[in-house]
Chain A
Amino acid sequence: MDAATLFGLAAAALVGLGTYGVIVNPQPLRKILAFNVVGSGVFVLFGAIARRGAVLGYDRDPVPQALLITGIVVAFAATALAVNLLLRLHEEAGSATLASDEPSSGKAAAERDER
C-alpha cells in the first residue's frame, strides 16, 4: 500500500465519521464540528489525488493545492457563520437546539385536528 492509498482510506474514514456526526448528533455545535471533519476528509482526499498526479502523468500535481486553500477558506467562513448564528440563537432563546417548535408544523396541526 503506497502513501496515497493510505491517505485516501484515511480520508474515507474521516468523511464517514463526520457524516455520521452531522446526521446523528442533535447538538448544533457538534454538527458544526462534524461538518469540519467531513471537510477535512475531502481535503485529505484531494491531497492524496494531488500526490498521485492523477491522469496527467505528472509526478505531483500542484493544481489541487491551490483549490484546497480556497476550499479551506470557504469551510472556515462557513464555520464562522454557523458559530455566530448559534451564539445569537443562544442569546435569544437561552438554549441552542435545532428542534423546531413552530405551532403550525405538521405534527402540531395533526394533533389539533384529532382533538
Chain B
Amino acid sequence: MTSSPGGLLLVMAVMVPFVGVLAGFALGGRKAQHVAMVTIIAGFCIALAIASESIRSGATISYLLGGWAPPLGIALRADGLAVVMMLAIAVVIVGIGVYARSGFATPPGVRESRAALTFWTLLLAIWGALNLVFVSGDLFTLYVALELLTFAAVPLVSLDGRAETLRAALRYLLYALLGSILYLLGAVLVYGAYGTLDMALLAERVRADPATLTAAALMTAGLLAKTALVPLHLWLPPAHAGAPPAASAVLSGLVVKGSWFLIVRLWFDVLPGVVTAPAAQLLAGLGAAAILLGNVVALRQQRLKLLVAYSTLAQIGYLFLMFPLAFDAGAAALERGTALAGGTLQAISHAMAKAAMFMAAGLIYKALGHDRIAGFAGVGRALPLTVLTFALAGLALMGLPPSGAFVAKKLLLDAAAASGQWWWDLVMQAGGLLTASYVVLVLAQALTPAAAPVRPQEPVSRVAEIAAFALALCSLLLGFVTATVPALSDVLASALKPSELVAVLVLASGGVLLAVALADRLPTWCDGAGVRALRRTTVAPALAFARLDGALRRWPVAGFSLLAVAIALGVAMIAGR
C-alpha cells in the first residue's frame, strides 16, 4: 500500500489552517485577521484541488504518514463523501470569513482585541479539525480530531464573556467531554478485540461479537451527544443562541456536522454488517423526535436566535433519517446508495442555509439592538436584502425546488418508497410543514409595516449582507449543481410536474396554519374570533412540547438519557440479529 497521487493535498488541507492558527497567535492583533484571510483563500484552493484530483482519478485519495502502512502507521483517506464535505465546508468558511470581517475587525486605535483574535484563530482551528475528521483513516486520530473540534468550538460560544454564555460554554464542554470519553471507551474496546484502529482494516476483520456491539453502541451514543440529537441536546440551544452571529453560523452550520460525519463513517464504512435494522430505526426515530420537538419549540421562541437554534435541533434530526433507508434487508447491511447521497446533500444544504440564517439573524439584531420577533415590524423595509436572505434560507431548509434539500428529500423519499418504509415519508413531509411554519411566522412579523420607519441603530455592513445572501443562494441553487451528476440529473426535472406545484402550495398553506395554531405570539393584524378559537385548543400541546424540552435539558435527565440511548442501541444491535 502506498500514497496515491495528490495525497499530499490531504496533509495540506489539515496543516494549512493550523499553520494559520499558529501564525495568527504569533503575529497577534490586526495581523491575525489578515493571516486568516490568506489562509482561507489558500484552504479554499486546496479544497478545489482535492476535488479536481478526486474527479480526475475517480478513486479514493490516500496518504500514508511517514510512509508507514497501517496497522502500525496512520493513513489519511479521502473518498467521494469526504471530498464533497470538504468542498462544502470550504464554501461556508469563505462565506463566514467575508461576513465576519465587519463584526470581528479589530477596532481602530486598539492594538489587539480579544474577541477578534480568538474568533479568527479558532475559525481556522475548527476548519483544520473538520478537515482532519473528514480525512482521518483511524479511530484514534478521529478522537483527537473531534476533541480539537470541541476545544475550538467551546470558546466561540463565550466570546462576549458574559456569565450566561460562559455557563452555556461550560455545559457544552462538559457534555461533549462525556460524549467523547464514551467514544474513546468504544475505540479502546475495538482495539482490544482487533488489534488495530485503522478503519479499512477493521472493515475487513469486524465481526458481530459482544465486545464489538458494546463498542459500537458506546461510540455511537457518545457521538450523538456531541451532535446534540434529541434527547441529548441540553447544551445546544443556549450555546448556539448565545454566541455572536458569525460564531453561531460556524457552530450550527459546521461543527455539529463533524460528529455526525463520524457516525456515518462508522456505520457505513466500518460496521455496515454489524449494525442492525432496529438500531437504524432507533437512530431515525430519535431523528423524528428531534424534528417534531425542535420545530414546535422553535415556534414557541420569542427571540430569533433561539428560534434558529431550535431549528438546528430539528435539522439535525433530518440527518439521521437516512440510516434505515440505507439499510438493505436482503444483505442485512447498510448500503451506500441513494439514501446516503440524500443524507449528505441534506447536511451540505443545511450547513449553507443555516449559516446564512444565523448571519441574517445577526444583522437584524445589530440593526434593531434586539432580536425579539414580536418587535420586528418594519424590518422588511429597513433591511430588505437581509430579510430576503432569511426567506431564501428558509425556502432552502423547507426543501423547495431547486434547493439542495429538495433533491435530498426526493432521494430519501425514493429510498423510503423502494424499501416500503412509508412512515419516514410522513415524518419528512411533516418536518417540511413545520419548517415552513416558523419561516412564515418570522417573515410575517418582519414584513408588518411599522408605525414609524425603523432606523438601524448601527450601520449594517453591505458586504456582510451580501455574504449571507450568497450563502443562502448557494443552498437554494445547490440542486442545479447536483443536476450535473449523471445519476441525479433527472431528480430536479421532476420539480416541474404539476403535482410538485400542488405540494408547494400545500406546504405554504399548511405552514401558515401551523404557525397560527402553535406560535408563541402572532403579528397584531393576525387576530380574530376564528384564530382565537383555534389557538385555545392548540396551545396546550405546544406548551407540553416546551415543557418536555425544559425537562430533557436538565443535566441529570440528559446524562441518564445518554446512558439510556447507549443501552437502547446495544439492545437494538443484539436483538436485531
Residues on A close to B: CB < 8 A? Answer: 15, 19, 22-24, 26, 28, 31-32, 35, 38-39, 42, 45-46, 49, 52, 54-56, 61, 63-64, 67, 70-71, 74, 77-78, 81-82, 85-86, 88-89, 92-93, 97-98, 100, 102, 104-107, 109-110, 113-114
**Sample of 10 more A-B contacts, CB < 8 Å, known A67-B191, A106-B300:** A24-B559, A54-B194, A70-B140, A89-B170, A98-B167, A100-B238, A106-B549, A109-B300, A109-B301, A109-B546
Picked from B143, B194, B559, the residue with its CB within 8 Å of the CB of A55 is B194
A108 to B231, CA, bound (A): 20
Question: How near does chain A come to B192, taking the closest CB pair, in angstroms?
Answer: 4
Quick one: closest A residue to B139, CB to CB? A67
- A49 close to B191 (CB less than 8 A): yes
Q: How far is the CB of B231 from the nearest CB of chain A, in Å?
A: 13
In the bound assembly, the distance between CA atoms of A63 and B140 in angstroms comes to 12
- Could you tell me how many residues of chain B have their Cβ less than 8 Å away from some Cβ of chain A? 57
The 8 closest A-B pairs by CB, nearest first: A23-B559, A106-B550, A93-B163, A106-B546, A107-B550, A49-B192, A92-B163, A89-B166
Within residues 233 to 251 of chain B, which ones have a CB less than 8 A from any CB in chain A? 238
Asked if residues B184 and A98 are in contact (CB atoms below 8 Å), the reply is: no
Which of A54, A71, A85, A107 lies in contact with B173, CB distance below 8 A?
Answer: A85
Q: Are B166 and A85 in contact (CB under 8 A)?
A: yes
- Chain B, residues 172-202, CB within 8 Å of chain A (1/0): the string is 0110011001001100110111110100000
* Contact between chains at B553 and A106 (CB < 8 Å): yes
Instruction: Give the docked Cα–Cα distance between A15 and B197 (Å).
Output: 21
B550 and A104 within 8 A (CB) = no
B520 an interface residue at 8 Å Cβ cutoff?
yes
Report how far A49 CA is from B193 CA in the complex, Å.
9
Interchain CB contact under 8 A, B166 and A54? no
Interface flag for B292 (CB, 8 Å): no
20 contacts between A and B (CB under 8 A): A23-B562, A24-B559, A26-B555, A28-B170, A35-B174, A38-B181, A49-B192, A63-B72, A71-B143, A78-B151, A78-B173, A82-B173, A92-B161, A92-B162, A97-B167, A98-B171, A100-B553, A106-B549, A107-B546, A110-B550
Residues A42 and B188 in contact, CB atoms below 8 Å apart:
yes
Question: Nearest chain B CB to A6's CB is how many angstroms away?
Answer: 16
Tell me the complex Cα distance, A113–B520, Å: 9
CA distance A105 to B309 in the complex (A): 12
B contacts, CB < 8 Å to A? 72, 140, 143-144, 147, 151, 154-155, 158, 161-164, 166-171, 173-174, 177-178, 181, 184-185, 188-189, 191-195, 197, 238, 297, 300-303, 306, 520, 539, 543, 546-551, 553, 555-556, 559-560, 562-563
In the complex formed, the residue of A with least CB distance to B234 is A100
Give complex CA distance A50, B392 in Å. 55
- Chain B residues with Cβ below 8 Å from A24 are 556, 559
- The answer to whether A35 and B181 have CB atoms under 8 Å apart is yes
Q: State A28–B197 Cα separation when bound (angstroms).
A: 33
Judge whether B162 and A19 touch: CB under 8 Å.
no
Task: Decide if A89 touches B163 in the complex (CB within 8 Å).
Answer: yes
Q: How far is the CA of A64 from the CA of B192 in the complex (A)?
A: 10
A55 to B86 Cα, complex, angstroms: 36
- Per the bound structure, the CA–CA distance linking A106 and B309 in Å amounts to 14
With both beta carbons as reference points, the residue of chain A lying nearest to B71 in the complex is identified as A63
> Within the assembled complex, what's the spacing in Å between the Cα atoms of A26 and B556?
8
Of A70, A74, A97, A114, chain B has the most CB atoms within 10 Å of the CB of A74
Q: Are A54 and B547 in contact (CB under 8 A)?
A: no
A23 CA to B191 CA, complexed, in Å:
27
Q: Is the CB of A109 within 8 A of B188?
A: no
CA distance A23 to B171 in the complex (A): 12
Pick the contact of A46: B162, B191, B560 (CB < 8 A): B191
Q: How far is the CA of A31 from the CA of B94 in the complex (A)?
A: 37
Instruction: Name the residue among A93, A97, A100 with the largest chain B CB count within 10 angstroms.
Output: A100
Could you say which residues of chain A place their CB within 8 Å of the CB of B178? 19, 22-23, 35, 38
- Assembled-state Cα–Cα distance A82/B83 (Å): 33
Q: Which residue of chain B is the closest to A66 with respect to CB atoms?
A: B140
Contact B300 A71 (CB under 8 A): no
Cα distance A33–B356 in the bound complex, in angstroms:
39
Query: What B residues does A114 contact at CB under 8 A?
Result: 543
Residues of chain A contacted by B168 (CB below 8 angstroms): 100
Once the chains bind, are B546 and A23 in contact (CB under 8 Å)? no
For B303, the chain A residues whose CB sits under 8 A away are: 104
A31 touches B547 (CB 8 A): no
Known contacts A74-B144, A100-B171; is-contact A105 B553 (Cβ 8 Å): yes
**A78 and B547 contact, CB distance less than 8 A:** no
Complex Cα distance, B176 from A85, in Å, reads 14
A35 close to B177 (CB less than 8 A): yes
Question: Could you tell me if A19 and B550 are in contact, using CB atoms closer than 8 angstroms?
Answer: no
Given contact pairs A19-B563, A92-B163, A42 touches B546 in the complex (Cβ within 8 A): no
Q: Is the Cβ of A81 less than 8 Å from the Cβ of B151? A: yes
Nearest CB in chain A: distance from B146 CB, A: 10
Q: Determine the residue in chain B with the shortest Cβ distance to A97.
A: B167
Residue of A nearest to B175 (CB): A22
A19→B225 CA distance, assembly (Å): 14
Query: Do B185 and A42 have beta carbons less than 8 Å apart?
Result: yes
Contact B164 A46 (CB under 8 A): no
B191 x A113 contact (CB < 8 A):
no
Contact at A42–B553, with CB atoms within 8 Å? no
Please, which residue of chain B has its CB at the minimum distance from the CB of A82?
Answer: B173
- Which residue from B169, B191, B300 sits with its C-beta under 8 Å from A85? B169
Q: Are A22 and B173 in contact (CB under 8 A)?
A: no
Q: Nearest residue in B to A15 (C-beta to C-beta)?
A: B185
Q: Is the beta-carbon distance between B302 and A109 smaller than 8 angstroms?
A: yes
Q: Nearest CB to that of A81 among chain B residues?
A: B151
How far is the CB of B329 from the nearest CB of chain A, in Å? Answer: 32
B162:A110 contact, CB within 8 angstroms? no
CB pair A71 B184 closer than 8 Å: yes
CA–CA, A33 to B197, complex, Å?
28
Query: Which residues of chain A are within 8 angstroms of B556 by Cβ–Cβ distance?
Result: 23-24
Q: Which chain B residues border A19 with CB–CB below 8 Å?
A: 178, 563
Asked if B181 and A106 sit within 8 Å, CB to CB, the answer is: no
> Which residue of A has the minimal Cβ distance to B555?
A98
Chain B positions within 8 Å of A89 at CB level: 163, 166-167, 170
